[in-house]
Structure 1
């Protein structure tokens, strides 16, 4: 370390786990503020750069590198209050993903509890596409898309081939809503729904959801790690609105 807490590029790299070239690249991308230039032209960094780079590494693990760059950039360009709001929004988004995944798991367990043979009253519980869309809060076109993708299989009745969703189809549609809300893409949802129709059934689908929840937990821990370094960055840059 140089005098007065100033750091050379190699020292910043050693403290953050990045290469010297990555440190320069992340500076160029705005993840950290521009380093001061010494009379000899070499970059001179401060401890705040180390905290910012550590925060970026953790944020990238939580939300991905693109969103992490945006969050750090907002901190340098805006106010601390704005940056704190953006950080809180990430927390809220992860919490929302976890809630949706838990709802998906609950829906899956409901399906499991309802297994055990046809319900004599199933016909009277059938829904039209309009009724089901209203109950789920989605568009009828969304249900048709899910049908084309093989996610939900309604019956077709009458000469007009009107769709009718029985108990099994309604349960499947609830499951698809929960999975899509939890952030699953169509291929992943299809994997879960197809597993429900195989001998592995609910157990395999539940393992998929448990992996999802574990991933959200890992990202949440990464976000917590980022918070400690971001607090140090905030202390370094001053009070809200000061810049």
Structure 2
């Protein structure tokens, strides 16, 4: 069944320019043209457009473009692994949120005099060593240095700062706000780590955000799976 852009736009409640944007980003298969130059969409294109609209609930358009390009290049399993990785990130953020609750709300204090390696800190916070190094490099934290080998060493205070930096970033993401390094530096410098009410509010906001994002991404993955089954069926029918 062949369809006009206006037909699909009306069905999906979007503009035809939005459909062209998706096409320009390489998010749908190649579109044929009629002799007079009009686009000719098929049921396959409609399936891709429906998938895109559903996936926008949980993924950025650039992420969706990368995923669908894999589908179109016979990389369906690669596409599934890509979205699986996105779910892993949410799971890790949820675990880090749990660490924040234990440390600041349940007052599970660590040994303030003990020093930790960067790998120890990464395991304790769920934050990648590369991220911790970057935060130290730009001055969000200020790690100690071992005299013998100049390795970074961290105290419980550093762990607290790392957890709270991540919490503030997630809190801003939940409010759809962008931040600058300088803004984050000032925020962590003046942050009161014993402000139970504020920390409790931040944690609640993060938990709500992660739960909503997880649901949105599950909805997106369901749409992707449905599209991939259609793609595989079409390939089978053509054989």
| 1:91-149 deviation per Cα after TM superposition (whole angstroms, max 9, x unaligned) | 32232122212211221222122368xx8xx46x421xxx3324224378556347x32
Is contact 1:63–1:219 with CA below 8 Å preserved after alignment?
Answer: yes
How many angstroms apart in 2 are the aligned matches of 1:166 and 1:10? 61
Tell me the equivalent position of 1:66.
62
Tell me the equivalent position of 1:22.
18
How many angstroms apart in 2 are the aligned matches of 1:46 and 1:206? 47
Q: Higher mean Cα deviation, 135-144 or 17-26?
A: 135-144
Q: Any idea what SS the aligned residue of 1:63 has?
A: coil
Is contact 1:55–1:230 with CA below 8 Å preserved after alignment?
Answer: no
Question: Rg: which structure is higher?
Answer: 1
Does 2:111 correspond to 1:113? no
How many angstroms apart in 1 are the aligned matches of 2:5 and 2:135? 55
How many aligned residue pairs are there?
214
Tell me the equivalent position of 2:125.
none
Gaps of 5+ in 1: 156-162
Tell me the equivalent position of 1:231.
229
Alignment of 1:17-166 (within 5 A): 17-76=13-72, 78-79=73-74, 82=75, 84-111=76-103, 112-114=105-107, 122=111, 125-127=113-115, 131-137=116-122, 138=129, 141-142=133-134, 144-145=136-137, 148-149=139-140, 166=155
Cα offset, 1:192, TM superposition: 8.2
Q: 1:230 to 1:145 in 2, by over 3 A?
A: same
Is contact 1:97–1:182 with CA below 8 Å preserved after alignment?
Answer: no
Q: Any idea what SS the aligned residue of 1:11 has?
A: helix
Task: Name the TM-score, length of structure 1 as normaliser.
Answer: 0.68
Is contact 2:28–2:45 with CA below 8 Å preserved after alignment?
Answer: yes
Task: Name the TM-score, length of structure 2 as normaliser.
Answer: 0.69
Q: Cα RMSD (Å) of the superposition?
A: 4.0
Is contact 1:35–1:45 with CA below 8 Å preserved after alignment?
Answer: yes
Gaps of 5+ in 2: 123-128, 145-151, 174-178
- Correspondence for 2:2 among 6, 9, 23: 6
Tell me the equivalent position of 1:159.
none
Q: Any idea what SS the aligned residue of 1:30 has?
A: coil
Is contact 1:31–1:73 with CA below 8 Å preserved after alignment?
Answer: yes
Q: Any idea what SS the aligned residue of 2:58 has?
A: helix
